[in-house]
Copies of this chain bind each other. A is one copy, B any other.
Amino acid sequence: MTTADEYDVVVVGGGSTGENVADRTAAAGLRTVVVEGGLVGGECSYYACMPSKALLRPGAAAAHARAVAGVSVGAGLDAAAVLARRDSFADHWKDEDQVAWLDGVGIDLVRGHGRLIGERAVQVDGGRVLTARHAVALCTGSLPALPDLPGLAEARPWTSREATSARQVPPRLAVVGGGVVAVEMAAAWRSLGSEVVLLARGPLLGRMEPFAGELVADGLSAAGVEVRQAEVTGVHRDGEVRIDLADGSTVVADEVLFATGRRPNTAELGLESVGLTPGSWPEVDDSCTVTGVPGGWLYAAGDLNHRALLTHQGKYQARIAGAAIAARARGERIDGGRWGAHSATADTAGAPQVVFTEPEAASVGLSLAAAEEAGLRVRAVDHDLGAVAGAKLYADGYTGRARIVVDLDREVLVGATFVGPGVAELLHAATVAVVGEVPVARLWHAVPAYPTVSEIWLRLLEAWRDGE
């Protein structure tokens, strides 16, 4: 007999990844429930992508317009208007719309903290038990990882959550870190009027091509951010925040953002009940099935499987995991080969990423270093993005750079990087080329419209040809 708490699929975590797993399993006719202890919609909707981009877009729009002679743009931004727009994009931190969507597509929602208590069983807030005939999907994402520093907890540092949801512009903001969150939030709050110092241990955006971090550092500096290479040794708050650095100097600020990495949100997920280690990143195969648990009923998608910590890759994994769950439930074969319908191949071969600073940095696939490390025989081809007519027209003094990484054996692109104002929308062409494994000989027939910034493709192909 079926009780109300017997489901086909139990999804733990109602962020964008969990929602997308549930969407796919529900669409396949599987009775699906989502367990969520916080806001349905997750980090992306309320504390990451949406509010952060809402904070960044006004500065970019103003900068782009200001760079065209004949357009008059006022100095600075109206911070109150920008914050109000941000609030709207974060749905004022209310999840009615997302809950209504779940309801509309026939997915049950159970509010509370979900925890595995054994095979195919999830307990909510220590009480109600939900069982899953076919699959449990863990989609609880990641949390900010803070370093072990004296005084840090008492200093009430910002994490990505506070940095994206703050209701006032701090007069002085210190940002610790050199990754995406660090550079984006430094850019955003600087554009809103904060004095910002960015304290990074090494080069910025270390996983991208080196020129990405360099150009973004230049852009931050030009906007008035103080970019310092520094190691933080201690943090103390006494009204204002004092940050001690390894070189003996001190930075004083009103708020300090620690954007120093992520940790898996799996400490309280009951992983031990199925033989996994709490607080670890569960290992999965390409269909997001957890490999350490027999029976193929446990999935982990999104940040917490540590394949690619990006909202869009989480949603991609969700579509693939959802399809795999549905296929297995129907007794069908899993199409798990390279680029198969049940294989999240793009996580490793073609995941795109955009950093919404000024300039923007956008990349897909492998950097030159990553390709070489993977043992591929590759050549990188670079070109000055500012030399393209479309870029000159876009903004006076346009500065940027592009690189493609070409696999010499297959003559296909395995990676591409664009850095410059407005390059975010240039990236998808590279993603299609990399994922589609379109041969370079065919790319010559993909003519960019003149005079767009995309004509960089022609310049890159010419540089490839003439460098042979």
Contact = CB atoms under 8 A, between A and B. Distances in A.
A135 to B, nearest CB: 21
Given A62-B65, A428-B448, 17 more contacts: A49-B450, A50-B393, A57-B394, A62-B68, A65-B65, A69-B82, A71-B77, A72-B77, A315-B458, A345-B445, A346-B445, A422-B422, A425-B454, A428-B454, A429-B432, A432-B443, A435-B442
Contacts of A429: 428-429, 431-432
Interface residues of A, number: 80
Contacts of A78: 69-72
Given A61-B68, A73-B65, A73-B71, A432 B447 contact: no
B62 A71 contact: yes
A318 to B, nearest CB: 11
A311 interface: yes
Given A425-B453, A431-B446, A431-B447, A341 B441 contact: yes
Nearest to A435: B446
Contacts of A84: 69
B431 A448 contact: yes
A432 B71 CA distance: 34
Q: Which secondary structure characterizes the binding site on chain A?
A: helix
Nearest to A394: B57
B70 A81 contact: yes
Contacts of A109: none
Contact of A436 (B53, B390, B443, B454): B443
Nearest to A67: B61
B449 A353 contact: yes
Most chain B CB atoms below 10 A, which of A68, A319, A352, A422: A68
A402 interface: no
A89 interface: yes
A444 B319 CA distance: 10
A392 B45 CA distance: 14
A369 interface: no
A294 to B, nearest CB: 28
Nearest to A88: B69
A239 interface: no
A54 interface: yes
B350 A445 contact: yes
A74 B74 contact: yes
A341 B431 CA distance: 24
Interface in A249-305: none
Given A438-B432, A438-B436, A450-B315, A69 B73 contact: no
Contacts of A117: none
A313 interface: yes
A339 interface: yes
A448 B310 CA distance: 11
A449 B427 contact: yes
Interface in A111-165: none
Nearest to A79: B70
Contacts of A435: 438, 442-443, 445-446
Given A49-B451, A61-B65, A438-B432, A74 B77 contact: no
Contacts of A362: 449
Contact of A447 (B346, B452, B453): B346
